[in-house]
Amino acid sequence: MNIILFLLFLILPCSSLQQDPSLTYCQKASSACILTPEQTEGPYYWNSTFVRQNISEDRSGIRFRLQVLVLNINTCQPIANAIVDLWHCDALGLYSHYISASNQIPNPQNDNQTFLRGLQITNNDGIATFDTIYPGWYAGRTIHIHIKVHIGGEYNSETSLYSGGTVVHTGQLFFNDSFSDTIAEQSPYNSHNVRRTLNSQDGIYASGGSYTLMDIQYENGNVGFPGGLITTVTLGVSSNLLSSETTSTTNPSCGSNIFINVYVIFMLFFYLII
């Protein structure tokens, strides 16, 4: 009898959870419902960029549309009206606002260039879309894109500026090395004579980079690179956790797992002793 009651106690919580589609622990181990590991902000962040979809400006390179889906791991639901903050280097490894530093010039002075930087507000489906170019590379780092997620701030439509709020994720997005090999053969990337660092050689990628390794597709497979590239990446964030802005080596876990595991352990202990 005790065994039957114990099994019922295990089944009932999962049954009630399945009534709520935002809690998916008993339904499946969803890859979307995990906390995305963070990586360092890096030295080239600048918080004075306009809200805009097209951030490429005058930079040459292969067109790349990046869609970022922001999910709340506490509910497994998309977060609307979050701000996704994006920045990366151009095809030759230069960052706007830090061109002198990117060129390794001693005592560099900052500039007011804004290419390949921008913010976008997530829609009702939790998606922010950027039109940019495939990044280049520079010495010591694999090809990557920097990203932050802000919530709770205010957007001024007259100035196109965002202010306030809190940062709930700071991270980096990564690219498949084999695909980047083909990119490196295209113009203007093939004029860059700096040796590339691979993902396997990058210390930051080693700390959770595989979770944001993007699957890049041709936007128009019939024409290849001239038709541009596209991908969607999912960032799992918690509205209850502020970004550490440091590399995280913690293994991500689904927000509802802890509750279920504690419940099961408690009930097992209870029925073993009665």
Contact 168, 243 (CB under 8 A): yes
Q: Give the least confident one: 77-86, 129-138, 252-261.
A: 252-261
Q: At 273, is the pLDDT very low, low, confident or very high (cuts 50, 70, 90)?
A: low
The SS3 of residue 145 is strand
pLDDT digits (tens, 9 = 90+) for 24-65: 333 333 455 899 999 999 999 998 778 999 999 999 999 999
Taking CA atoms, 212 is separated from 94, 148, 199, 200, 269, in Å, by 22, 13, 12, 14, 39
Q: Is residue 164's pLDDT more than 90?
A: no
pLDDT digits (tens, 9 = 90+) for 253-269: 444 343 334 343 444 44
Contact 53, 131 (CB under 8 A): yes
Average pLDDT of the chain, as a whole number: 82
Calculated CA dihedral for residues 242, 244, 250, 251, nearest 10 degrees: 50
What's the whole-number mean pLDDT along residues 70-99? Answer: 96
Tell me what pLDDT residue 274 has: 52
- Chain centroid to CA 51: how far? 18
Phi-psi region of 190 (alpha: psi -120 to 50; beta: other; left: phi over 0): alpha
What's the whole-number mean pLDDT along residues 184-188? Answer: 97
Which domains can be identified in the chain, with CATH numbers?
63-237 (2.60.130.10)
E strand map for the chain = 63-72, 77-78, 83-87, 117-121, 127-133, 144-156, 161-175, 213-214, 217-218, 229-237
Residue-level length of the chain? 274
Q: In this prediction, what percent of the chain has a pLDDT beyond 70?
A: 77
Tell me what pLDDT residue 32 has: 53
pTM for the model: 0.78
Distance between CA atoms of residues 138 and 165, nearest Å: 32
DSSP 106: S
The dihedral of CA 22, 148, 41, 207: what is its sign?
Answer: positive
Residue 231 β-bridge partners: 66
